[in-house]
Amino acid sequence: MRCLTTAIKHVLAVAGLFCFMMLLACCGNRVAGTFTSGEIWKDNNGVHINAHGGGILTLSDTYYWFGEHKTEGRSGNSAQVGVHCYSSQDLYQWKDEGIALSVVADDTTHSITKGCILERPKVIYNKKNNQYVMWFHLEPKGEGYSGAMSGIAISDRPTGPYTFVKAIRPNAGYWPINVLETHKSGIFPQESQRFSGGDLPAHPDTLNLLGRDMPGGQMARDMNLFVDDDGTAYHIYASEENSTLHISQLDEDYTGCSGKYARFFVNRFMEAPTMFKKDGNYYLIMSGCTGWAPNAGRSAVAPSVWGPWEELENPFKGEDSDLSFHSQSTYVLPVPGTTHRFIYMGDRWTPENAIDGRYIWLPLRIEGKQPVIEWLPEWSYETTE
């Protein structure tokens, strides 16, 4: 009898363990060890990851994912909380590290006051002074998208808290290295001559948007950061009313502009830029400019950050490639342990209920010189070429 009771106890214990394992595996509607684009991705607390328009900071064996903390409803597209940080050792399981940069609730005049627009935060590490530096697209509260500024914050720990440093329009007082004579000698429109977004009434050079903004700094909306192998860091941003992409070298502290920058893809309205490097070539994955609605992806390659940049094809291949699989680029990360395979990271925005936005992470490979991204409903980087 005692034997039977012990056996039943054993069976129950094994069954209990099995149920517990199943629960763990099902946590987040995904099996541990795969990416399931477009599904709910739960963190260690069982909460959908809240890090939109994000990027990854890689530090030896740990990945830190920083992104916009969105809240419910349409108002959740503006910054009610700040920048959220998660950490992971394998890119599949994410630990909530809390809010790395908080918006300011008790000062309505502060640059990052609650309700401002704070988008696409990215963090890089500066070896020189052992500092973590965050840049983000900042729109002062109540001014729509007219501010087109860059915010900068620093911390001595990767997870923060980050201290807000300043909000700027990049490269005030500097001409880009590929400035045209007509920018310098041509008509300088008034600061008041601004456009409400979307198409421009004429070519950006005819309007001399560069000259208009040269004294006070260039417009900077969708943005990313890239640190090259030699430690030089770059800020890549949609400028000149979104019409033209600027690539700008940061200063040695990474907290300001060096004044060296160049303009590319003039009048191509490139948004959501993300830069990466393979075999000495620089690549950009970008989108067109249709707000929260997805559009066909863009890609480009160059032998140097300073160009010449050659625009390539839409990197998305197959059904729904004209909508980038209902996503917009935010980051490209080398597959752990490799330098020739990459993970495309994009956002599937849900502007009506901002917090419900989903993550589209897919394998990115280079064929010849063309980046290629194909849809896979579930995959792991360990087993997918």
Interface residues with ligand GAL (CB under 6 A) are 53, 119-120, 222, 271-272, 291-292, 328
Angle of CA points 18, 23, 27, to nearest 5°: 150
Q: Which residue is nearest to ligand GAL (CB)?
A: 291
Q: Judge contact between 134 and 120, C-beta under 8 A.
A: no
Nearer to ligand GAL, 208 or 224 (CB): 224
Contact indicator for 190, 207 with CB cutoff of 8 Å: no
Query: Which of 78/218 has CB closer to ligand GAL?
Result: 78
Shortest Å distance, C-beta 110 to ligand GAL: 21
Nearer to ligand GAL, 238 or 250 (CB): 238
Q: How is residue 24 annotated by DSSP?
A: H
Ramachandran assignment for 26, one of left (phi > 0), alpha (psi -120 to 50 degrees), beta (any other):
alpha
Burial readout 28-46 (b: 16 or more C-beta within 10 A, e: otherwise): bebeeebbbbeeebbbeee
Instruction: State the sign of the Cα–Cα–Cα–Cα dihedral 46, 75, 150, 156.
Output: negative
Q: How is 101-118 classified by DSSP, letter by letter?
A: EEPBSS-TTSTTBTTSEE
Q: Of 148 and 247, which CB lies nearer to ligand GAL in the complex structure?
A: 148
Q: Among residues 158 and 294, whose Cβ is nearest to ligand GAL?
A: 294
Cβ closer to ligand GAL: 136 or 381? 136
First and final C-alpha spacing in the chain: 56
- Please, what is the minimum distance in Å from the beta carbon of residue 123 to ligand GAL? 17
The residue count of the chain comes to 385
Minimum CB distance to ligand GAL smaller for 173 or for 198: 198
Please state the closest distance from residue 104 (CB atom) to ligand GAL, in A.
21
Residue among 126 and 242 whose Cβ is closer to ligand GAL: 242
- The token duo for 138 is 């900042």
Q: Cα(67)–Cα(347) distance, rounded to whole angstroms?
A: 11
> Hey, how many other C-beta atoms are within 10 angstroms of the C-beta on 139?
21
In the complex, the smallest distance separating the C-beta of residue 275 from ligand GAL, rounded to whole angstroms, is: 16
Task: Tell me how crowded residue 338 is: count the other CB atoms within 10 A of its CB.
Answer: 9
For 204, the 3-state DSSP assignment is helix
Nearest to 330 by CA among 252, 280, 272: 272
Using CB atoms within 10 Å of the CB of residue 310, give its burial: 0 to 12 exposed, 13 to 18 middle, 19+ buried: exposed
Residue 306 CB, shortest distance to ligand GAL, in Å, is: 25
3-state helix, strand, coil in the chain (%, to 5): 15, 40, 45
| Closest approach of ligand GAL to the CB of residue 128, in Å | 30
Residue among 119 and 211 whose Cβ is closer to ligand GAL: 119
In angstroms, what is the minimal distance from the CB of 144 to ligand GAL? 10
CB of 273 vs ligand GAL, minimal distance in Å: 10
**Distance in Å, CB of 52 to ligand GAL, minimum:** 9
Give the C-alpha distances (Å, rounded to integers) separating 242 from 146, 262, 289. Answer: 11, 15, 8
Minimum distance from CB of 385 to ligand GAL (Å)? 30
Taking the least distance from each CB to ligand GAL, the nearer of 153 and 238 is 238
